């Protein structure tokens, strides 16, 4: 298995929210994904799809695609990511079912590769969600295992490491992907190391930040997601940032996020203007923290799974 703009008023999610639109897009790529899956598998797939859409709709998210603009990307826009998310959604259900059978990593990897192929067909060859297929796919597979039960978000994240951590850590680093090259060149762990360890950054940074954002601005879910994203950006050695900007670019991006948080983050007046200014600076330097986007989506999925019971 394996991813500035002008200030505008707070946007509202379209009526019905991402889960409704997940159901509307369900027919896309179903033929690629195999037989119909049990209700829990379909429910988890809905939540995974919704997490991808919520990540996409979060703004400002420095350097990344949103409905406002395409960030630092010339090869994709919001429509690209919507098509990709719809195409890979059925494979999340397949992964849940595979997890329920006690599948080994090799089987999960095969499903992930089929999801990547569906993504590429849907986007005309654009890698919109490869990292998300990996991270969210593993979380979906773990959600299918009988021992997961009604675990907390943190416990669900740790379970990925318990089940497949050794296999993930033992897999060779890709010599062709941008992330793999950054891992080899700069000696960072990347998405594989994060998953193998049970997503420690999500457990210690992403989930606490998401909850803190909700407490800071009740009833403003987008603001909470922005807070979570900046908290991740401040600490993650994002291989996409390393690929595009090297260590200097990564350090600058982390410092920008840390400064935003230190100055009050979403609790400060004018926080959206300040976040948008950081977004414009990322676009000017072509920086794109795609790894943090994947971690935000994974954080949202784990939180939703815990809420679903």
pLDDT tens for 150-168 read: 789 999 999 999 999 999 9
Assess if residue 295 is contained within a domain.
Answer: yes
In total, how many domains does the chain have? Answer: 1
- The model's confidence at residue 17, banded by pLDDT at 50, 70 and 90, is very low
**How much of the chain, in percent, has pLDDT values that exceed 70?**
87
Assess if residue 11 is contained within a domain.
Answer: no
Assess if residue 158 is contained within a domain.
Answer: yes
- Full domain range(s) for residue 142: 17-308
Which CATH number covers residue 23?
Answer: 1.10.4200.10
Assess if residue 12 is contained within a domain.
Answer: no
pLDDT tens for 112-133 read: 999 999 999 999 999 999 999 9
Assess if residue 88 is contained within a domain.
Answer: yes
Stretch 262-269: mean pLDDT = 98
Assess if residue 282 is contained within a domain.
Answer: yes
pLDDT tens for 69-100 read: 999 999 999 999 999 999 999 999 999 999 99
Stretch 274-297: mean pLDDT = 98
Mean confidence (pLDDT) of the chain: 89
pTM reported for the whole predicted model: 0.89
pLDDT at 187: 82
Assess if residue 1 is contained within a domain.
Answer: no
Assess if residue 7 is contained within a domain.
Answer: no
Please provide the DSSP assignment of the chain as one string: --------PPP-PPTTHHHHHHHHTTTTTGGGS-S---HHHHHHHHHHHHHHHHHHH-SS-TTS--SS--TT-SS--HHHHHHHHHHHHHHHHHHHHHHHTT--HHHHHHHHHHHHHHHHHHHTS--SSHHHHHHHHHHHHHHTSTTTTT--HHHHHHHHHHHHHHHHHHSPPPSSSHHHHHHHHH---HHHHHHHTT-HHIIIIIHHHHHHHHHHSTT-HHHHHHHHHHHHHTT---HHHHHHHHHHHHHHHHHHHHHHHHTTGGGSTTHHHHHHHHHHHHHHTT---HHHHHHHHHHHHHHHHHHH-
Stretch 261-287: mean pLDDT = 98
- The model's confidence at residue 176, banded by pLDDT at 50, 70 and 90, is low
pLDDT at 35: 60
């Amino acid at each position: 298995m394996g991813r500035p703009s002008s200030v505008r008023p707070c946007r509202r999610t379209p009526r019905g929210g991402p889960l409704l639109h997940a159901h509307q897009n369900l027919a896309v790529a179903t033929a690629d994904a195999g037989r119909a899956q049990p209700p829990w598998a379909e429910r988890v797939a809905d939540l995974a799809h919704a997490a991808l859409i919520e990540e996409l709709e979060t703004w400002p998210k420095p350097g990344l695609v949103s409905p406002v603009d395409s960030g630092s990307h010339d090869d994709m826009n919001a429509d690209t990511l919507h098509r990709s998310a719809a195409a890979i959604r059925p494979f999340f259900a397949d992964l849940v079912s595979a997890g329920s059978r006690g599948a080994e990593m090799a089987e999960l990897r095969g499903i992930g590769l089929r999801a990547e192929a569906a993504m590429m067909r849907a986007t005309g060859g654009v890698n919109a969600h490869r990292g998300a297929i990996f991270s969210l796919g593993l979380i979906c597979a773990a959600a299918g295992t009988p021992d997961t039960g009604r675990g907390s978000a943190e416990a669900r994240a740790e379970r990925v490491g318990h089940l497949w951590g050794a296999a993930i850590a033992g897999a060779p680093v890709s010599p062709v992907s941008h992330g793999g090259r950054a891992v080899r060149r700069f000696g960072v762990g990347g998405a594989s190391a994060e998953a193998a360890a049970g997503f420690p950054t999500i457990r210690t940074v992403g989930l606490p930040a998401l909850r803190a954002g909700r407490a800071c601005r009740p009833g403003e879910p987008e603001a909470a997601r922005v807070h979570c994203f900046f908290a991740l950006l401040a600490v993650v050695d994002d291989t996409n940032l390393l690929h595009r900007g090297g260590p200097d670019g990564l350090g600058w991006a982390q410092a920008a996020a840390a400064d935003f948080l230190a100055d009050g983050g979403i609790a400060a007046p004018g926080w959206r203007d300040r976040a948008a200014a950081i977004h414009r600076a990322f676009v000017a330097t072509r920086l794109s923290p795609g790894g943090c986007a994947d971690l935000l989506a994974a954080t949202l999925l784990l939180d939703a799974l815990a809420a679903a019971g």
